[in-house]
Amino acid sequence: MAFTCALGLFIAACGAEPPPAVSRVWPVLGTMMSVAAWAPDTIRLAGALNGARDSVDRIDSLMMHHARIDALDSAQRDLLQRTGVTAASESLASGYALDRAALALAGVSDSALLDLGGQYLWVGPPGRMTNRTVGIPDPDNSLDALGWVELRGGSIRTQPQSREHHGRAHSVTVLAPDALTAHAWSIAFFALGCDSALAVAAGLGGRISVACADSAGVRWTKDLEERVRVPAASGRAP
């Protein structure tokens, strides 16, 4: 099945067309996970995709029974220590599921693009991610994008819902090396609001990147300077 030029509402892949992918879609956590993966041995890859599905099949049950998951515990502690924001395990489950599915593909696929509920995770050579962009949501209408950020690798997650923070509705778009980290920090940055989110991100040494939109416009961390596109006068780096 050929990989399409668009995945989801805000992600576009309009560069050179890659080789045909093996694709799967299955239900996870009340939504759908989709995976497009590439490898020379498509039969082995199909088996790995089945393993990816099996690896996330019980996450609903684990969340329901409040099972202890070390990765989630670590993410929660990191957020609390650095930002004071508390995130429930259930709220981080989809990021954890994406990482679990990607782990099942390791050593089999050359590269893969995973999507769960609008969060994307790219595994593979960054060069193949040319011209793949994700929208920065308008906080007053999450179906509109105020700008675009280039995804080169790792995971990207948006928190587009309108919400007042110190009198401002805002949205955040977070990029991180893995899906759980992107998910966790999107929750924290959304709770903090744009000004504090950008200040905290600046102190993380480029480990976490964020683009944030509020009444002041679209702003982003300096490491995204060459990767964000917004209409003239609509945004600026802090």
Q: pTM (2 decimals)?
A: 0.86
Relative orientation angle of helices 194-202 and 179-192, to the nearest 10 degrees: 130
Task: Express each pLDDT in 29-52 by its tens digit.
Answer: 999 999 999 999 999 999 999 999
Q: Are 90 and 182 in contact (CB under 8 A)?
A: no
Task: Express each pLDDT in 56-105 by its tens digit.
Answer: 988 877 776 666 888 999 999 999 999 999 998 888 999 999 999 999 99
50 in a structural domain: yes
| Sheet of strand 141-150, all strands in order from the earlier edge strand to the far edge | 6-7, 11-13, 132-138, 141-150, 228-229
**Is the pLDDT score of 205 beyond 80?**
yes
Short-list 214, 176, 208, 223, CA closest to 195: 214
CA distance 23 to 233: 40
39 in a structural domain: yes
How many other C-beta atoms lie within 10 A of the C-beta of residue 69?
18
What pLDDT score was predicted for residue 7? 37
Question: What is the three-class DSSP state of 143?
Answer: strand
What pLDDT score was predicted for residue 99? 96
The CA-based diameter of the chain, rounded to the nearest angstrom, is 54
**Is the pLDDT score of 114 beyond 80?**
yes
- Give the confidence band of 2 by pLDDT, cuts at 50, 70, 90: very low
**Is the pLDDT score of 129 beyond 80?**
no
Strand stretches in 139-191, DSSP E: 141-150, 154-159, 164-165, 168-169, 171-176
How many structural domains does the chain have?
Answer: 1
CA distance 209 to 202: 8
Q: Are 37 and 105 in contact (CB under 8 A)?
A: yes
Please report, for the domain that includes residue 87, its CATH number: 3.10.520.10
182 in a structural domain: yes
231 in a structural domain: yes
The terminus-to-terminus CA distance of the chain in angstroms comes to 42
1 in a structural domain: no
CA distance 152 to 40: 22
Average pLDDT, the chain: 84
Report which DSSP code applies to 223.
Answer: G
Residue 196: CB partners within 8 Å, gap ≥ 6? none
| Full residue range of the structural domain in which residue 73 is found | 6-124+132-236
Q: Are 147 and 174 in contact (CB under 8 A)?
A: no
What would the two tokens of residue 236 be?
């600026």
41 in a structural domain: yes
185 in a structural domain: yes
Residue with token string 């593909």: 105
65 in a structural domain: yes
